[in-house]
């Protein structure tokens, strides 16, 4: 088991606060394993095992529990009377009207409740109504590059480690499959198909799974490119697979709610406002992308951008793609009252490359931190207050 120390520490910070802790993320990213590790940490801190209750609604053990009343009865039978209890509910959205179960536990002051789910609809509709202002969402992603290197015991500065991370991605179980690419590919195909069936097709009621997969393929193929729903619909139509605008829109929404993709809106860095057009989508994992869209020469820059985006999401509350006049800033990061700018470039070598990458940052007349992340082993020193940092250093938390 790979210890997700950063996320465990985050959970520990929220322990015993009067809020429901909702742990979200794509299937197989490690939510259940993290809760196991958190429970172990509770035991080590002195909490008796009898006060830690776990219900996994996708396991055979709880397959017969399908109503709120049945879940309440199980909890009542196992809860120590008069003792503070830590309650973990895995994939609770499998229970109809699960909001009533969560709300009832919240109202008990002797329970600290942790909920997991693999679809963002968990935090929409009735749950948001029941628990408005009374929950905190904690997003868990597949392994970061640092976690991947530590979990596999490999040198993070070796080119082979970096290449393998881009190709295989960060789903934790892959580290147990060894170096066989066929095993990795088969596992990732299984993850994708499970998400497609359980979290996309089931939610949209789509009658054409192949069409949904074509929309996913388009998004995987265009990570880092400005796109729109209309562009996706037009591309499918021109390829002989006509799909109406609103249908594409519903598919994209479902793919994002299943955490396969994250939409990054554009932000006018000078006007200090979000723009209504021209957003980008980033994949939750580059390994999944490799299964649907094989890597091609020239992909590395976009994949680096995707990895940096995911890392920034781990570290900050809000990540947008930026605009300064007619120029692009890869990421505007906002959170905790602070703003910073991040530009990503595979290399800064070559005629005019450094000048081109720095130009949009130089046009900003503010004192917010500005960083250029590059795969160059020895990037240029800082210029005009703009810091250039090696991508591996950045991903390891050293830049």
Residues 93 and 155 placed together within one structural domain of the fold: no
Query: Are residues 163 and 131 both part of a single domain?
Result: no
Burial class, 300, CB count within 10 angstroms (exposed 0-12 / middle 13-18 / buried 19+): middle
Of 112, 139, 166, the one marking the end of a domain is: 139
Task: Specify whether 75 is located in the same domain as 208.
Answer: no
Write out the residue range of the structural domain in which residue 65 sits.
5-139
At residue 122 the predicted structure's pLDDT band, cuts being 50, 70 and 90, is confident
The reply to whether 199 and 109 lie within a common domain is no
Residues 285 and 322 in one domain: yes
Alpha carbons 340 and 323: distance in angstroms, whole number: 13
The tokens describing 231, both together, are: 């562009």
Verify that 368 and 240 share a domain, yes or no. Answer: yes
Q: Are residues 204 and 333 in the same domain?
A: yes
Q: Looking at the structure, do residues 194 and 90 belong to the same domain, yes or no? A: no
pLDDT digits 0-9 by tens, 341-378? 999 999 999 999 999 999 999 999 888 999 999 999 99
State whether 218 and 107 are in the same domain.
no
Per-residue pLDDT of 169-178, as tens digits, reads 999 999 888 8
State pLDDT tens for residues 151-171. 999 999 999 999 999 999 999
pLDDT tens-digit readout, 10-20: 999 999 999 99
What predicted TM-score, i.e. pTM, was given to this entire model? Answer: 0.93
What average pLDDT is seen over the chain? 91
Among the candidates 139, 163, 196, a domain finishes at: 139
What would the mean pLDDT of 46-51 be, rounded to a whole number?
97
Last residue of a domain, one of 91, 113, 139: 139
Are residues 340 and 274 part of one domain? Answer: yes
Cα–Cα dist 49/18, whole Å: 21
Same domain, 162 and 119: no
Q: What percentage of the chain reaches a pLDDT higher than 70?
A: 97
What is the predicted pLDDT for the residue at 178? 84
């Amino acid at each position: 088991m790979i210890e997700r120390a950063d996320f465990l520490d985050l959970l520990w910070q929220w322990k015993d606060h009067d809020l429901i802790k909702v742990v979200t993320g794509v299937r197989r990213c490690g939510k259940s394993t993290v809760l196991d590790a958190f429970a172990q940490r509770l035991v080590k801190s002195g909490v008796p095992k009898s006060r830690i209750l776990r219900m996994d609604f996708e396991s055979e053990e709880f397959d017969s529990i399908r109503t709120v009343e049945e879940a309440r009865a199980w909890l009542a039978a196992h809860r120590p009377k008069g003792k503070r209890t830590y309650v973990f509910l895995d994939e609770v959205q499998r229970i109809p009207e699960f909001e009533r179960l969560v709300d009832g536990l919240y109202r008990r002051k002797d329970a600290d409740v942790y909920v997991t789910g693999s679809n963002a609809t968990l935090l929409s509709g009735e749950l948001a109504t029941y628990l408005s202002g009374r929950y905190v969402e904690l997003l868990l992603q597949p392994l970061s590059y640092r976690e991947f290197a530590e979990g596999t015991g490999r040198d993070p500065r070796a080119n082979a480690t970096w290449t393998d991370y881009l190709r295989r991605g960060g789903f934790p179980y892959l580290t147990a499959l060894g170096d066989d690419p066929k095993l990795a590919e088969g596992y990732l195909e299984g993850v994708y198909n499970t998400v497609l069936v359980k979290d996309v097709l089931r939610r949209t009621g789509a009658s054409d799974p192949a069409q949904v997969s074509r929309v996913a393929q388009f998004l995987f193929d265009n990570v880092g490119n400005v796109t729109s729903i209309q562009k996706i619909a037009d591309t499918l139509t021109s390829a002989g697979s006509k799909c109406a605008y609103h249908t594409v829109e519903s598919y994209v929404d479902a793919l994002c709610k299943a955490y396969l993709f994250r939409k990054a809106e554009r932000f006018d860095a000078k006007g200090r406002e979000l723009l209504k057009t021209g957003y980008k989508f980033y994949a939750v994992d580059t390994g999944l992308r490799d299964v649907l869209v094989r890597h091609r020469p020239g992909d590395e820059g976009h994949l680096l951008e995707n990895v940096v985006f995911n890392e920034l999401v781990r570290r900050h509350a809000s990540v947008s793609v930026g605009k300064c006049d007619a120029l692009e800033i890869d990421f505007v990061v906002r959170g905790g009252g602070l703003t910073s700018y991040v530009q990503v470039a595979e290399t800064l070598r070559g005629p005019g490359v450094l000048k081109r990458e720095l130009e949009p940052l130089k046009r900003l007349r503010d004192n917010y931190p500005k960083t250029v992340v590059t795969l160059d082993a020895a990037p240029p020193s800082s210029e005009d207050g703009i810091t250039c940092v090696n991508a591996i250093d950045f991903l390891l938390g050293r830049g």
